[in-house]
Amino acid sequence: WRQSSYAGDAIITAVGLHEGLWMSCAAQSTGQVQCRLHDSLLSLEVHIQTSRALMVISLLLGFFGIIVSVVGMKCTKVGEEDPVTKNRIAVAGGVLFILSGKAALASI
């Protein structure tokens, strides 16, 4: 979140502005918070668009990592006739988790 604030002529009109990947919020000194989604993807800065894309990629890789890892677990019956392939599937799930973490770190 990028945070900034604005105080008008009197402290009564103080506003805190918070801009994130998905929405922008304005918090007034009275405690009222108003949030809105970004109007257009094209109006966002390049680093915000890139961060949003990397976060979505990270979520997708993590989801597929869960699916692949569950298939590769020893307690599941899928592919239990070939333990070498099952171990490779489990390793592939771990690699997907690592890639998911790398994508999430790259978005920061």
pLDDT in tens, 45-89: 888 888 888 999 999 999 999 999 999 888 888 877 888 989 999
What is the predicted pLDDT for the residue at 7? 60
DSSP class of residue 93 equals H
Domain total for the chain? 2
DSSP string, 60-90: HHHHHHHHHHHHHSTTS-TTTT-HHHHHHHH
Do both 62 and 94 map to the same domain?
A: yes
pLDDT band per the 50, 70, 90 thresholds, residue 17: confident
- The range of the structural domain enclosing residue 17 comes to 2-37
Indicate if the pLDDT at residue 37 is higher than 60.
Answer: yes
What is the predicted pLDDT for the residue at 47? 83
Indicate if the pLDDT at residue 95 is higher than 90.
Answer: yes
Which pTM does this prediction carry? 0.71
- Identity (one letter) of the amino acid at 10? A
Do both 95 and 65 map to the same domain?
A: yes
In contact, 96 and 62? CB cutoff 8 Å: yes
Do both 13 and 53 map to the same domain?
A: no
**Between 13 and 23, whose confidence is greater?**
23
Beta bridge partners of 24: 19, 36
Do both 53 and 33 map to the same domain?
A: no
32-44 burial, b at 16+ Cβ within 10 Å, e below that, comes to eeeeeebeeeeeb
Let me know how long the chain is: 108
CA separation for the pair 97, 108 (Å, rounded): 17
